[in-house]
Amino acid sequence: MGYKGGNLLTCNIFTMRKHYACIISFLISFIVFIPVANASGPPKVILKFSPQHLIRNGLWISGEFFNSDFRISHQLSLEGVYAEPYNRNGKEKMSGYTAEYMLRYFPNKMKRFVEPHEVTKGLYGAFFCQAGSYTQSETTTTTGSITYKSEMKAVTFYPGFVLGFEQRIRDGLFIDIYAGAGMHKVSTDISTNRSTNPDTRYFGIFSGGVLPKVGLSIGIGL
């Protein structure tokens, strides 16, 4: 696939600058909001950032919105993915987006506890439904000056369930951990002038079947 001398996480300098500029801007916004965040009881809204998605060159942000009694919440998430791995013999690019809705149920509510020490936390079960659209393209020139072009487009649908735990770890700052699984369905459209289809190495994006869903998010309660 033309991965000589590099891999998925080795991007050119221009791509890295754009990618990390977005991340730094988002983290700065977190720092700005912390002083005015809800520091005592459960917040009505939690804005979140999921660092594990950086592994696949993605920036994942979420907003969780609680109902009046803090027993149910609705979480909306968006992710943008962009990567240009180093390719000595050509150019490769991966881009796409993901949108997710998660309905969470807290049996004992998301609430503030005082004993043995003050903390706001809650256990939950959740149903999620995720959809995405991705494009992987590759242009490779061999030593014999033969140019191969490949493009693969995928539309994904991913429903499933998770169990999780959410807790305030300092004034206004929350951590959210969850694990579960779902059925990942993929519809692909491939065009290539090679004798074989292009490889897919982008962390399950182009793979169908039962896939685990494990995550960690850091958020600010408002």
Q: Is residue 1 part of a domain?
A: no
Q: Which stretch of 94-103, 174-183, 188-197 has the lowest confidence by average pLDDT?
A: 188-197
35-76 pLDDT, tens digit per residue, is 444 555 688 999 999 998 888 888 999 999 999 999 999 999
CATH number of the domain to which 186 belongs = 2.40.160
- Closest by CA to 64, choosing from 112, 122, 132, is 122
Q: Tell whether 5 is covered by a domain.
A: no
pLDDT at 29: 55
What average pLDDT does range 117-125 have in this prediction? 88
Read off the amino acid at residue 120: T
Q: Where in the sequence is the domain holding 150, given as residue range(s)?
A: 13-111+120-221
Pair 160, 185: CB distance under 8 Å: no
8, part of any domain: no
- Count of domains observed in the chain: 1
pLDDT digits 0-9 by tens, 138-166 = 877 766 676 777 888 889 999 999 999 99
The answer to whether position 7 is within a domain reads no
Burial class (CB in 10 A: 0-12, 13-18, 19+), 7: exposed
DSSP conformation letters of 118-163: -EEEEEEEEEEEEEEEEEEEEEEE-TTS-EEEEEEEEEEEEEEEEE
